[in-house]
Structure 1
Amino acid sequence: MTVENETAESTDPAVSPLAHFGAEVRLERERLDISRAELGKAACCSYSLVAKIEAGRRVPPLDFAEACDQMFPHSNGRFARLWPLALRWAFPPWFRQYVELEWAATSLRMFHPQLLPGVVQTEAYARAVLQAGRPINLDDLVTARIERQRILEREQPTRLWLVLNEFVLRNTVGSKAVMHGQLSRLRDLARKPPHVVQIMPTGENNHLAASPFGVLSFSEGADVVHVDGFPRGYLLAETDDVAAANDAYDLLKAMATPPSESADMIDSILKDCYT
């Protein structure tokens, strides 16, 4: 997999998919004599966001791309097709391959000891987590993280099996209001097939895995393991590594509470800590 030249001018449509998407929107909008305000109204966003997307300075949500296809005759879904390339540009180069694999996966088994993983975070929780690193492109990072979650809602969703330490539910990120919204979403997810959520009670003293990791499975091909870490995560595809990750995940599932108890446990912590 090739990596784009990160030193290239990000606003040059020739080298940045994000800039290319914005330039195409602007050219089509101006050709049809549609104002930014009109496009913003159709896409349920502000004039300023349209301007930033056209300038290649903001990552467009999928809803924006779909609105462009509806507003611009004869686009034939072009902007929805360009959207994944524009979205990919928001991620750091080392994470882009993982995002592509995540999008193609049929199942995703994840363990997180300290935070909710990005694929289930609310926008407020994601913003609180990401802004801790003081990034200059916070809005793009939040948009990109939330858009990843479409894999759980599409017609053929990626099946998520999530194991969390109980600490994750009690670790206040942002504020009590942020956590109330986040745990409400997690509780609903725990009740929604085909997804599964399990909680590792604090009393279990889980010392098996200190780092977040996930096992991605596909309709064709072998499993791949992603290990999160600082300053960056990494992918593992060697047979022995994948086997070790699968064994570790099986043990984590066995140590955690049954899936049928997860929603009630989440709801109890939500009421005790965040109301």
Structure 2
Amino acid sequence: MKHLKDLDPSASPLDYYGAELRRMRDEAKLSQPQLGSIIFCTGSLVGQIETAKKVPTRDFSERADAALGGNGHFSRLVGLVLRSQLPTWFQPYAEMEAKATYISSFQPQLVYGLLQTEEYARAVLGARGKDGLHAKVAARMERQRILHREHPPVIWVILSEAVLHQEIGGREVMRNQLSHLLSLRDLPSVQLQVLPFEAGAHTGLMGEFTVLRFADDPDILYTEDFVQGHMTANPDAIREGTLRYDHLQAAALSVEQSAALIARIMEERYGEPEADGRTVA
């Protein structure tokens, strides 16, 4: 077990967060159980975070700031901590995603990460095992904060109709996910289209891809295989990705037609929830 004297604040954002929490708690002359009672958690959880055994949430960080007079210190740090929980190969993309002004993404198998519910993300990320799942889900939810910034990026996503039929996490999880997609119509910066089965052969058959555009930097094309992701700013690749995306947009249903299809599949395939949480057709 990692002891406080062994904690190296420079080892990682998580270690630095833990060291800062310990330092400020000591300065406030509070024990771990005392701080826990103030911020509505256990002293054990405080200790696990101080020793980098547990990843803090944004809610925990905001409460810690309020209790310790952090002036937003932990709320700022937690973003770095959660980003560090993303796969190493994915972190550069997440940094670019957060800076983009326009995001265009085609997804043939899964709901785009920025549009996933917490339960759907947990099912996706837990498919290969539960180790570190809490931190992985928290990191994915943290990425979604860009949707609610004062000046969010414009996000235009095309989903294959197959995404709506692929049952991830069970019927209730899928119903809630599709309901969430419909609720995103309230965000003017988010647009969603569905590529119907009737489209047949299309320019996205090679797999998912995303184009990021920036105010002052070159565009980036991002693709993934089953091992890791790949980013490129090669002009030829960007041109090809943009052309393929334009063709997909032309073949996809309109935004309004897409919403109608999502609503229909939600009702017909995943049913209405019953009072006990089950679903009925």
Same fold (TM over 0.5): yes
The answer to whether the 8 Å contact 1:215/1:226 transfers is yes
2:83 to 84, 88, 91: 88
The amino acid of 1:234's aligned partner reads H
2:145 to 144, 147, 150: 150
Helix, strand or coil: the match of 2:90? helix
1:20 to 3, 11, 16: 16
Pairwise mapping of residues 1-275 of structure 1 onto structure 2 (< 5 A)?
Answer: 12-36=8-32, 39-40=35-36, 47-73=43-69, 75-209=70-204, 210-275=206-271
Larger Rg: 2
Helix, strand or coil: the match of 1:111? strand
The amino acid of 2:180's aligned partner reads R
Structure 2 regions of 5+ residues with no counterpart?
Answer: 1-5, 272-281
The answer to whether the 8 Å contact 2:112/2:157 transfers is no
Q: 1:118 to 1:57 in 2, by over 3 A?
A: farther
The amino acid of 1:24's aligned partner reads E
Q: How much has 1:207 moved relative to structure 2?
A: 3.5
Which residue of the partner structure matches residue 278 of structure 2? none
Q: 1:130 to 1:237 in 2, by over 3 A?
A: same
Structure 1 regions of 5+ residues with no counterpart?
Answer: 1-9
Which residue of the partner structure matches residue 5 of structure 1? none
Q: Aligned equivalents of 2:20 and 2:31: distance in 1?
A: 15
The answer to whether the 8 Å contact 2:120/2:169 transfers is yes
Q: 1:31 to 1:214 in 2, by over 3 A?
A: same
The amino acid of 2:63's aligned partner reads A
Q: How much has 1:151 moved relative to structure 2?
A: 0.7
Cα displacement string for residues 154-190 of structure 1 (whole angstroms, at most 9, x for unaligned residues) = 2211221010000100110010011011111011113
Cα displacement string for residues 3-42 of structure 1 (whole angstroms, at most 9, x for unaligned residues) = xxxxxxx953221111110121122123213354554566
Sequence identity (%): 40
The amino acid of 1:164's aligned partner reads L
Q: 1:41 to 1:227 in 2, by over 3 A?
A: farther
The amino acid of 2:127's aligned partner reads A
Which residue of the partner structure matches residue 7 of structure 1? none
The answer to whether the 8 Å contact 1:188/1:263 transfers is no
Q: How much has 1:88 moved relative to structure 2?
A: 2.2
With normalisation by structure 1, the TM-score equals 0.89
Helix, strand or coil: the match of 1:93? coil
RMSD of aligned alpha carbons: 2.0
Q: Aligned equivalents of 2:33 and 2:202: distance in 1?
A: 54
The answer to whether the 8 Å contact 1:123/1:142 transfers is yes
Q: Which piece of structure 1 moves more, 47-56 or 103-112? A: 47-56
Cα displacement string for residues 63-112 of structure 1 (whole angstroms, at most 9, x for unaligned residues) = 33232222222x33322332232122201211111111111111211110
With normalisation by structure 2, the TM-score equals 0.87
